[in-house]
């Protein structure tokens, strides 16, 4: 099970939704969140932070370490927490779960008119979308490449 949690960036202008795989890490594992606007003037620390296309997640590694006994024996790093889904975006990027629904709405209408064409279009949309997001530099879109 994944728990969804919404957070506001440090400057207060953007939100991001996170999933916490298997409910192992609490929301408090995120110390601070920086959007592309407020991440430009921070001192980046690779030991506790992760960059993704202008966004920076500052993890509280003490909280992560406290909960690490529930994780497989991999090294506990910001990359591991994010890439393995223990504290990651809900979707490919911070508000992906909302944008993808909006993008699919037109295609869903097609499912009632021409189901065969709908299946072809939804597959194409998914592939094209991931290619676009990978090209934009989103970490999760580039994970399988």
- One domain for residues 112 and 61: no
Give the domain extent around 128.
96-142
Residue 32 has φ and ψ, to the nearest 5°, of -150, 155
- One domain for residues 48 and 108: no
- One domain for residues 73 and 112: no
Summarize pLDDT for 71-104 with one digit per residue, the tens: 887 789 999 999 999 999 999 999 999 999 988 8
- One domain for residues 18 and 68: yes
- One domain for residues 122 and 72: no
Sign of the alpha-carbon torsion through 129, 101, 89, 56: positive
Tokens of 67: 């909960």
- Backbone conformation region of residue 12, classed left if phi is above 0, alpha if psi is from -120 to 50, else beta: left
Give the residue from 38, 30, 31, 36 showing the smallest Cα distance to 10: 38
Q: Is the pTM of this model over 0.85?
A: yes
Contact (CB, 8 A) for 30 and 15: no
- One domain for residues 43 and 11: yes
- One domain for residues 8 and 79: yes
Residue corresponding to tokens 């879109």: 141
**How many domains in the chain?**
2
- One domain for residues 103 and 34: no
Q: How far is CA 126 from CA 21, 93, 96, in A?
A: 23, 15, 13
Which residue, 89, 112, 130, sits at the end of a domain? 89
**pLDDT per residue as tens, the chain (145 positions):** 556 689 999 999 999 999 999 889 999 999 999 999 999 999 999 999 999 999 999 999 999 999 988 888 778 999 999 999 999 999 999 999 999 998 888 888 888 899 999 999 999 999 999 999 999 999 999 986 5
The whole-angstrom separation of Cα 108 and Cα 14 is 28
Which residue, 44, 66, 89, sits at the end of a domain? 89
């Amino acid at each position: 099970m994944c728990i969804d949690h919404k957070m506001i960036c440090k400057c207060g202008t953007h939100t991001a939704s996170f999933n916490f795989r298997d409910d192992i890490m609490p929301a408090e594992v995120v110390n601070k969140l920086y959007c592309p606007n407020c991440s430009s003037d921070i001192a980046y620390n690779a030991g506790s932070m992760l960059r993704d296309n202008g966004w920076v997640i500052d993890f509280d590694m003490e909280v992560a370490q406290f909960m690490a006994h529930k994780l497989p024996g991999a090294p506990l790093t910001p990359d591991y927490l994010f890439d393995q889904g223990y504290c990651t975006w809900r979707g490919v990027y911070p508000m992906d779960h909302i944008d993808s629904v909006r993008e699919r709405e037109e295609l869903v209408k097609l499912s009632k008119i021409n189901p065969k064409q709908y299946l072809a279009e939804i597959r194409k949309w998914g592939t094209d979308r991931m290619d676009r997001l990978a090209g934009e530099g989103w970490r999760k879109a580039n994970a399988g490449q």
